[in-house]
Chains A and B, each alone.
Chain A
Amino acid sequence: MLDKLYNFKQQHDQCGVMLCFSGYLSQELMIGIGEVLRNKLKQEEDSSMVLKIFSVFVEQAQNIMRYSADQIPPNSEEDSALGSGILVIGKNQGHYYISCGNIVDNHKVPHLNSQLIKLQQMDKEELKQYYKEQRKKDTPQDSKGAGLGFIELARKSNSQFEFSFQPIDEHFAFFSFKTIL
């Protein structure tokens, strides 16, 4: 592993990776990483762009925390669960990319898949209307946020996102999602 570390870092550099995190993610960790990200971006971008990238980062990170199938259960009611996943933020060919990945239960794949295809096919105005419609509804039962995360991600990127599900075994698949700004 040790001799491969430089190689690993070089691969990241070639892909323009600015930040990469893999493992269990907490809200506190997310805040820390977010601060580093904003400080770095401030040197290169105007405040609107910095906030846009930051907002995509927050939605993706909170998705991992809330919906990763690999979780450390909370110690107490005050605590929250820690979801495991991977987050990568970088710049390639003049565009920023923010990617996240985590394992999901196989039975959740069809719904998520069709939901994301639907979002990909919507134009700006349709996404706005859909966002407003969903926001008026009561929070879905299996949602720990407001169920608006992916719609927000689609809106921020004008539907410029990619996703995939890679089979792991009979229980789980690996979900990857990439936003391009």
Chain B
Amino acid sequence: MDNLNISATTQTPAIYFDEENQTLNMIGECYPENITKFSLPLFAWLNNYLMVLETQLFTVNIELIYFNSSSSKMLLDLFDCLQSAVVENQKNIVVNWIYDVENESALEYGEEFKEDLNNLNFNLIEKN
């Protein structure tokens, strides 16, 4: 399976998989013109990965400073996909929503996702 490694740009986050720690990281800002096109490689990779994932813990760290409304929809699709893998295929997944305390809306957005994802282990983590 190809490793996932997307470099950050001004308008899109870095997205990479750390194989050693079985951790997917998404860090930066996200407001591309076409979010569907941007996120295609991520979802393609994730679908493959979830098929080969066994009992080990899969961690997803999301650390976004800013994202636009269409990217918010993409994030919900991502979390839905992870939640389905937990509910339907008993995968062991944890999502860490990492926010900066000085960025008021980052925590608020994280809380709103958490409210709608009752079957996903979703942590809100203040950045040090």
Contacts and interface: CB of A to CB of B under 8 A. Distances in A.
Q: Do A and B interact with each other, yes or no?
A: yes
Interface of A: 27, 31, 35, 46-48, 51-52, 54-55, 58-59, 62, 65, 80, 128, 132, 135-136, 139, 144-146, 148-149, 151-152
Interface string B61-77: 00001101110110010
Contacts of A47: 100, 102-103
Contacts of B100: 47
Given A132-B116, A146-B72, A146-B73, A80 B66 contact: no
Nearest to B75: A135
Report whether over half of chain A's contact residues are helix, strand or loop; otherwise say mixed.
Answer: helix
A51 B69 contact: no
Given A55-B66, A55-B68, 19 more contacts: A31-B10, A46-B102, A48-B104, A51-B65, A55-B105, A58-B31, A59-B68, A62-B68, A80-B33, A132-B112, A132-B115, A132-B116, A136-B76, A145-B35, A146-B69, A146-B73, A148-B70, A151-B69, A152-B69
Given A145-B70, A148-B72, A149-B69, A52 B33 contact: no
A70 to B, nearest CB: 18
Contacts of B10: 31, 35
A148 B103 contact: no
